[in-house]
Structure 1
């Protein structure tokens, strides 16, 4: 493997920073999924299982943007604020996190999404989580392409505002920029295939609500889009030497 990539040292698995970062990802993903999926269930409670109107779409986009802003901002200094297995994969492809750290994050993110979905079902007196589905007449390949494009935009924004060594003071607004692109993408992709961009956001409701139809789209699409963004930005825009963890040091949050 190139020197810029690292599996992670054995001591990193039990290092307090790694454990803190994993817990941070768990809680922040919980916050995001609870609010995002909760907004969907709230609309269903108020209006029933009706067609998605423009006002409902705006509400869902806003709920995702606001909660993601809070989730990223509250975890950025501890874990880097991924809140998304695809974002973690994009940084892994770019050599910004070790494989071991990425695995920690993936487990934490998925658990956070599942716990959020379970508690949401309990708190709504048994309402079944909805998750994501491909709209009638859209097709699997167009839905997959939509997820690839939207996740590319998300991870490209993450790289530009939160990772790029030359970001300077721009890093201050990284949570806002990341939240904005997710909210904007929900407005675009929501009526077609739900606009997940996040395998954890899709997995938690799918498991608890047991809705698996076309679920693979919400894994493959985001991972492909994230990988493309990581490669394009890391090797096309930054063009720097290997990241600071090339000697297999655990990442500091600011290096994420």
Structure 2
């Protein structure tokens, strides 16, 4: 069974940690900027809700795939506190560095949304909220399932040492599952799968409606997927030393 690596506060001073935090900030910023920007564009230009949802899903799929690829070598390209938690549960990143990543990701999200609001002349950054008729429990379960599928894909295509012919396709496949989940559930829960993706727009717009759902659901789903895949599907001949990236 995988062991969670605690780490130490001294990691903050290590060059590789500083590099990872800078890259994680940049990658998360660009992801949020493109994702939230796409949502703002659809509200401004598109009347057809189906077309708008597809546009947002494709924008997220593309930018997630590219930003994971851009940040993978240095920070792992997490972009998402739920991904960081899922990898921490599997022992692939220390608890200390996970907390630093969380702070980094949230700050990047806020910065991206604040810049978008300024550049668009004060347009509201759309927040994730539950659809009419969906209660909080339904929303949490939906986000658990969606984020579980995201982390399951991350482990299967990026972490598992026996990923075989999938090697090199991980970022693209993770982006595609994000896009597919948005198409499937965007009209119900918003399909966040990412507390940072929900936090920035909520803070900048001042709208915290249903916001807790987008922390509880993704973190449970991500942590559960990381624990299950690491302990039931990855077979190793020895237990490796925990690394900073996946």
Out of 64, 72, 94, which is 2:60 matched to? 64
Out of 79, 94, 98, which is 1:98 matched to? 94
1:34: which partner in 2? 33
* Cα separation, 2, equivalents of 1:223 and 1:71: 21
* Cα separation, 1, equivalents of 2:177 and 2:208: 26
After superposition, the CA RMSD in angstroms is: 1.5
**Cα-to-partner distance string for 1:158-186 (whole Å, 9 max, x where unaligned):** 00111112224523111001000000000
1:83: which partner in 2? 79
1:4 and 1:242 in contact (8 A); partners too: no
What number of residue pairs does the alignment pair up? Answer: 245
Unaligned runs of 5+ in 2: none
Unaligned runs of 5+ in 1: 246-250
**Cα-to-partner distance string for 1:52-103 (whole Å, 9 max, x where unaligned):** 6111110010011111111111000111111100000001111111011101
* Cα separation, 2, equivalents of 1:56 and 1:9: 45
Q: Which runs of 4 or more aligned residues in structure 1 lie more than 6 Å from their structure 2 counterparts after TM superposition?
A: none
TM value normalised by structure 2: 0.95
* Cα separation, 2, equivalents of 1:140 and 1:252: 35
* Cα separation, 2, equivalents of 1:190 and 1:182: 11
1:4: which partner in 2? 3
TM value normalised by structure 1: 0.91
1:161 and 1:170 in contact (8 A); partners too: yes
Out of 223, 239, 242, which is 1:242 matched to? 239
